[in-house]
Amino acid sequence: MPSADYKDYYAILGVSKTASANEIKQQFRKQALKYHPDRNPGDKEAENRFKAISEAYEVLSDPEKRARYDQFSQYRQGGRQTAWSYNPATSAGTEGFDFSQYGNFEEFINELLGRFSTSEDIGSSGSYSYSGGSTSKSSPFSDFSNFATSGGFENQTKSTDQEATIPLSFKEAFEGTIKRLNLNGEFIEVRIPPGAKAESRIRVKGKGKQNLYTQQRGDLYLKVSLLPHNFFQFEGDNLVCEVPITPDEAVLGTSIEVPTPDGMVTMKVPPGIRSGQTLRLRGKGWSLPKGGRGDQLVRITIATPQNISYQEREYYEKIRSYRTYNPRNYLQQVTL
């Protein structure tokens, strides 16, 4: 087997052959951030390096692909004197798989990764062309820092459809946005409709993997991942927030200003509200896919002041001396 055809993906990523999945991921992210084209505009060497580590990660990050690649490597070492001829005695660990069906390493890796090579490509330069959007976990978004925390593209076994995780801020998800994605050099713009939520799936027709035989492309499915917000969160389909009030406001009732996705609104707090009780702002919640708005739930907490003035303390002591309500009366009836 001509050694020039073979690519040592472990050496390309700079990890050992016994590296864990986490070690492989960390090393890929480190190198990908360094060589990403957005950080090295016009640098062809960095671009080629990025493609090489992306291909290496695509293989080594997938347990099945990594196992088959390792088996191929063992076959290559065992059958070196006989070039590409298959010899069971020197192909331990290959589980009887006939690697001699491949004319060279590129044929093997193209099939492993589901890529399509034309005879013209192989005959002229030995290079390959992707059949479409790659199933590579290393296929980056244009903003690689987001990609590095999002999980990237996930392989979909025996399917031309693909799935990718796309991170969105609450503002982008609420208002809708247009994202520009990089699918291994193919730039596409995807419209995210208003009201996207975590786990929402957005279908992009014809941007999946290409079928090797029909050359038809599947679809790309973008799964939304919402970045954390410092005030809002979701509980099921409800947009929820937490707002503190003071003890006197809880006793006497009050009106407070509460943030909503599209600005501040005034909300009445009834007298005697309890800590943890939830109030509802109708029509001020999340955008609904078919139009309109859901509700926003406001969870009330009673914030006890830590530092009070002498006069405040005097009034609190006076309240205590006149207080008739004892919230612990029921404890007298508690028994085993």
How large is the average pLDDT for residues 42-67?
Answer: 88
Cα–Cα separations (whole angstroms), residue 33 to 49, 143, 205: 11, 10, 29
CA–CA separation, 19 vs 315, rounded Å? 67
Cα–Cα distance measured from residue 55 to residue 186, given in angstroms and rounded to the nearest whole number: 16
* Pairwise CA distance, residues 302 & 269, whole Å: 12
Query: What is residue 41's predicted lDDT score, i.e. its pLDDT?
Result: 84
User: Do 45 and 37 contact (CB within 8 A), yes or no?
Assistant: no
Q: Do domains 3-124 and 144-226 have the same CATH topology?
A: no
Query: Where is mean pLDDT largest: 33-42, 88-97, 132-141?
Result: 33-42
Beta bridge partners of 258: 265
CATH of domain 144-226: 2.60.260.20
**Hey, where are the domains in the chain?**
3-124, 144-226, 233-329
- What are the pLDDT digits (tens) for 225-282? 999 999 999 988 889 999 999 999 999 999 999 999 989 999 999 999 999 999 999 9
- Note whether 186 and 168 are within 8 A (CB): no
- Average pLDDT of the chain is 78
Topology classification of domain 233-329: HSP40/DNAj peptide-binding domain (2.60.260)
pLDDT digits (tens, 9 = 90+) for 58-88: 899 888 889 889 988 888 776 543 333 333 3
- For residue 247, the model assigns a pLDDT of 95
170, two tokens? 């609450």
Fold classification of 3-124 (topology level): Helix Hairpins (1.10.287)
Q: What angle do CA 95, 98, 156 make, to 5 degrees?
A: 75
CB count, 10 Å around CB of 25?
A: 19
For tokens 């139009």, name the residue: 291
**Residues of the chain above pLDDT 90, percent:** 40
Report how far residue 156's alpha carbon sits from residue 220's, in angstroms, rounded to the nearest whole number.
Answer: 11
Q: What is the DSSP letter of 136?
A: -
